[in-house]
Amino acid sequence: MSEMTDGIGYLLEKNALEEAVVKYCVAIDKLDDLDFMMSNFTPDAVLDLTGLDLPRFEGHEQIRGFYAQVFADMSHHMHILTNFRVAELDGDEARIFAYVTGMGRSKAGIEIQVYVYYDLDLRKSDAGWQISRFYEAPQLPMPESVTQVHKKH
């Protein structure tokens, strides 16, 4: 962190960053609003799920396609965000880390529960903080149920 490491300005930015990640979690849990989901990402964003043994997606079109399939496959989602930490904050760019417990049920009845971490770059624009790089990987070993539901993507 360079310019703001304490004080009210830093706390306001940290809160705005955390709210941006919570907004993403709300969007993924809704499972029905692709426009709301895509409002979380910059147009040039990268969604890198290689840490989960899933693909990497670049730009809104590829990212939207991935989430369209997730929304089609899943009947329920719930994400719990903890251990939120701002690793870097420099003007309109930031990097954060967080632990996430993700739970869900596929429309085929497969139960999923994962313990992962998010490593995200965010960029501030007129739309607020948006994700420009999203990387997710296991914090604890991944259950086979994840690849049963999502491997085909």
Write down the domain spans for the chain.
7-150
pLDDT above 80 for 142:
yes
What is the rounded CA–CA span in Å between residue 106 and residue 86? 32
Q: Tell me: the pLDDT tens digits for 14-68?
A: 999 999 999 999 999 999 999 999 999 999 999 999 999 899 999 999 999 999 9
Place of tokens 């709301």: 36
Query: Residue 152 has what pLDDT?
Result: 56
pLDDT above 70 for 93:
yes
Tell how far CA 3 is from the center of its chain.
25
Mean pLDDT of 134-148: 88
Q: What does DSSP say about strands 93-106 and 56-58: parallel, antiparallel, or unpaired?
A: unpaired
Check residues 150 and 58 and name the one with the higher pLDDT. Answer: 58
Place of tokens 């965000």: 81
Query: Residue 40 has what pLDDT?
Result: 98
Q: CATH fold of 7-150, please?
A: Nuclear Transport Factor 2; Chain: A, (3.10.450)
Q: What does the block give as tokens for 145?
A: 């149920």
- Biggest alpha carbon–alpha carbon distance for the chain: 49
Q: Is residue 1 very low, low, confident or very high in pLDDT (cuts 50, 70, 90)?
A: very low
What is the rounded CA–CA span in Å between residue 58 and residue 64? 10
Of 6-10, 51-55, 125-129, 142-146, which range is least confident?
Answer: 142-146
Q: Is residue 3 very low, low, confident or very high in pLDDT (cuts 50, 70, 90)?
A: very low
Query: Residue 143 has what pLDDT?
Result: 85
